[in-house]
């Protein structure tokens, strides 16, 4: 990037931020991505993807070499692992001209100033940009500047115990075909989702795959409050990482497995729950935005609109955000302020994402009601 080019900064180098960077570069808009992690990010388990939509968005086809490892899920969707998708996007960013990726740079605050955007970093440095796009997740720092009156996502009423287990760690391979899609059921107030996904090397050979599971649990409000992850007024300020789930909780979950999970998945879930490297407790947040842009600032992905994984649309919505925003930036006349392009992005995306979040809220409400009825009936305790 030369000094004569406008500076567009994307805050957050995870899935949404990398996708936006690639979509922008593919349309001739250079960007700088700042990410607080010094190296490659870790974590995540699995998610559904639309391969054709990704190809249209980022200018690289995940169905062509280098291929993104996936297995069929449903309709035009496939399943992959978070690490595989992150690695694929990160590698494409590394080989794409027009993208500067700067790690180890944590943004402390953002504000609009004289038609520009000022970023302050945790190391005490500052920089000015023509536009700043927040792709920094449901606890977004950029959102605090775009929507200072409502900066935090609300708790949806449940968390999801998630795990990703190598088949090699099991005594027996899982009796589920590699192209079998998702297993989903509601049992005793809990929602259970499982699937077999490609192994870490991309293999779908039996014995070399991975098992992903998501165990929906609406009975952990007290735990979240005790660990200061949930405020008294219902806002989420954190999740349960892999290293801070108490051993007693793990033992409780292991004891529940035989009453909830069929034999096909029981061993994998038990191994995953016991593993400090696998199990995480993802507190489900939802955020209904009133705006997606404010002056030279805008939001995409979970920073803009956080939804339940039950929608199956979290990453898909981020891809759509990236396509629309990148197009608006590319079509901006050179004499026009970036704020006008960002407002056009908002006008296109805001009605759609608000409808998606409202749909998510309905799904969450129905699930919490079901879970509560299960508890009142004396099951799932």
Q: What's the pLDDT tens digit per position in 290-348?
A: 999 999 999 999 999 999 999 999 999 999 999 999 999 999 999 999 999 999 999 99
Cα separation, 319 vs 59, in Å, equals 12
User: Of 264, 267, 329, nearest to 293 (Cα)?
Assistant: 329
Residues (pLDDT < 50) of the chain are 1-2, 376-381
Give 43-56 pLDDT, tens digit per residue. Answer: 778 999 999 999 99
pLDDT at 180: 81
pTM of the model: 0.94
What was the pLDDT predicted at 374?
59
What is the reported pLDDT for 375?
Answer: 53
What pLDDT was estimated at residue 1?
45
Mapping DSSP onto H, E and C, the string for the chain reads CCCCCCCEEEECCCHHHHHHHHHHHHCCCCEEEECCCCCCCCCCCEEEECHHHHHHHHCCCCCCCCCCCCEEEECCEEEEEHHHHHHHHHHHHHCCCCEEEECCCCEEEEEEECCEEEEEECCCCEEEECEEEECCCCCCHHHHHHCCCCCCCEEEEEEEEEEEEEHHHCCCCCCCCCCCCCEEEEECCEEEEEEEECCCCCCCCCCCCEEEEEEEECCCHHHHHHCCCECCCCEECCCECCCCCCHHHHHHHHHHHHHHCCHHHHHHHHHHHHCCCCCEEEEEEECCCCCCEECCEEECHHHCCCCCHHHCCHHHHHHHHHHHHHHHHHHCCCCCCHHHHHHHHHHHHHHHHHHHHHHHHHHHHHHHHHHHHHHHCCCCC
Structural domains in the chain, CATH included, are: 8-152+287-365 (3.50.50.60), 156-284 (3.30.9.60)
Q: What is residue 379's predicted lDDT score, i.e. its pLDDT?
A: 43
Supply the pLDDT for residue 196.
96
Dist CA 322 CA 348 (whole Å): 12
Structure tokens at 369: 């009601």
């Amino acid at each position: 990037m030369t000094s004569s080019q406008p500076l567009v900064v994307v805050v957050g180098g995870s899935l949404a931020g990398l996708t936006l960077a690639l979509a922008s570069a593919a349309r001739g808009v250079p960007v700088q991505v700042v990410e607080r992690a010094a190296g490659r990010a870790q974590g995540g388990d699995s998610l559904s993807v639309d391969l054709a939509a990704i190809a249209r968005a980022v200018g690289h086809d995940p169905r062509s070499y280098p291929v993104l490892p996936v297995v069929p899920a449903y309709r035009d969707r496939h399943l992959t692992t978070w690490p595989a998708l992150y690695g694929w996007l990160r590698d494409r960013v590394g080989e794409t001209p027009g993208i500067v990726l700067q790690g180890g740079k944590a943004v402390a605050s953002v504000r609009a100033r004289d038609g520009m955007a000022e970023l302050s970093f945790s190391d005490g440095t500052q920089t000015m940009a023509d536009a700043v796009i927040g792709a920094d997740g449901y606890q977004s720092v950029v959102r605090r500047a775009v929507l200072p009156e409502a900066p935090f996502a609300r708790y949806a009423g449940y968390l999801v115990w998630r795990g990703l287990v190598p088949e090699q760690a099991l005594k027996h391979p899982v009796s589920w075909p590699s192209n079998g899609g998702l297993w989903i059921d509601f049992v005793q107030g809990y929602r259970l989702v499982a699937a077999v996904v490609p192994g870490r090397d991309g293999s779908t050979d039996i014995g070399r795959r991975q098992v992903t599971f998501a165990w929906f649990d609406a009975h952990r409000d007290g735990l979240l409050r005790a660990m200061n992850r949930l405020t008294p007024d219902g806002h989420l300020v954190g999740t349960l990482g892999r290293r801070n789930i108490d051993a007693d909780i793990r033992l409780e979950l292991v004891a529940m497995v035989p009453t909830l999970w069929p034999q096909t998945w029981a061993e994998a879930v038990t191994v995953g729950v016991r593993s400090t490297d696998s199990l995480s407790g993802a507190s489900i947040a939802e955020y209904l935005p009133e705006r997606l842009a404010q002056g030279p600032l805008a939001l995409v992905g979970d920073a803009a609109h956080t939804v339940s994984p039950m929608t199956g649309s979290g990453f898909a919505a981020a891809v759509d955000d990236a396509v629309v925003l990148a197009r608006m930036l590319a079509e901006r006349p050179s004499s026009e302020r970036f704020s006008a392009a960002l407002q056009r992005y908002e006008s296109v995306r805001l009605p759609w994402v608000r409808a998606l979040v409202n749909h998510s809220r309905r799904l969450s409400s129905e699930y919490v009601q079901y879970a509560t009825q299960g508890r009142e009936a004396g099951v799932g305790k």
